[in-house]
Structure 1
Amino acid sequence: MLFSELKSKEVVNLRDCRKMGHVTDFEFDECSGVIQKIIVPGIGGKNWKCLFGCDTEYAIAYQDIKQIGPDVIMVDVP
């Protein structure tokens, strides 16, 4: 899968069915090349309450990803 395909997918938390946003970046181990986390900025920036810069950002560990589908990534995070 290409990164361009990964970042077009919506991230949804299975615990509360909340849309968290889209993948913007990822963190990987330089030695092994394994992805450790995906970075999702959150959708708080689109809310009028975050007019002055909410810094909602989620760093989701790779083991918390439960399924990657054609248009959504299902995660299980508290």
Structure 2
Amino acid sequence: MQNNAGIDYTFCELREKDVVNVSDGKQLGRIVDIAIHCTGKVVGLVAAGEKKFFKNFTGNENVFIPWQKVIKIGDDVILVELLPVNTRELSK
């Protein structure tokens, strides 16, 4: 819902939504940060990612989502389209 200032969503509203990748159906976590260019344009979102068992000491694996990959911001979910990542290849 847009208010009088022309704002569609606040950061507080975005961080309450789950992020789902439509390419593989995986839940990427919730929004923890927003990347903004010095011109004020939103460049992307940062999702908390899934917590790994051995990553308990270092925290979650954050996922950067380029703004162009955001498909839809719904009432409860943010849909994005990212290429599925093979985690086995990343660990090599």
User: TM bucket by the smaller chain?
Assistant: 0.7 to 0.9
Offset from partner CA, 1:16-53 (integer Å, 9 cap, x none): 1000000000111112x110010012022xx4343443
CA 1:43–1:55 in structure 2 vs 1: closer, same or farther (change >3 Å)?
closer
User: Which structure has more RCO (C-alpha within 8 Å, separation ≥ 6)?
Assistant: 1
- When Rg is computed on C-alpha atoms for both structures, the one with the higher figure is 2
Given the two structures, how large is their TM-score scaled by the length of structure 1?
Answer: 0.85
Calculate the aligned-residue CA RMSD, in Å: 1.5
**Structure 1: 5+ residue runs without aligned partners?**
none
Matched letter for residue 61 of structure 1: P
Question: Mapping of 1:26-37 within 5 angstroms?
Answer: 26-31=34-39, 33-37=40-44
Given the two structures, how large is their TM-score scaled by the length of structure 2?
Answer: 0.73
Quick check: 2:29–2:49 contact (8 Å CA) kept in 1? yes
**Structure 2: 5+ residue runs without aligned partners?**
1-8, 84-92
Larger strand share, 1 or 2: 1
Q: Once superposed, which parts of structure 1, at least 4 consecutive aligned residues long, lie more than 2 Å away?
A: 47-55
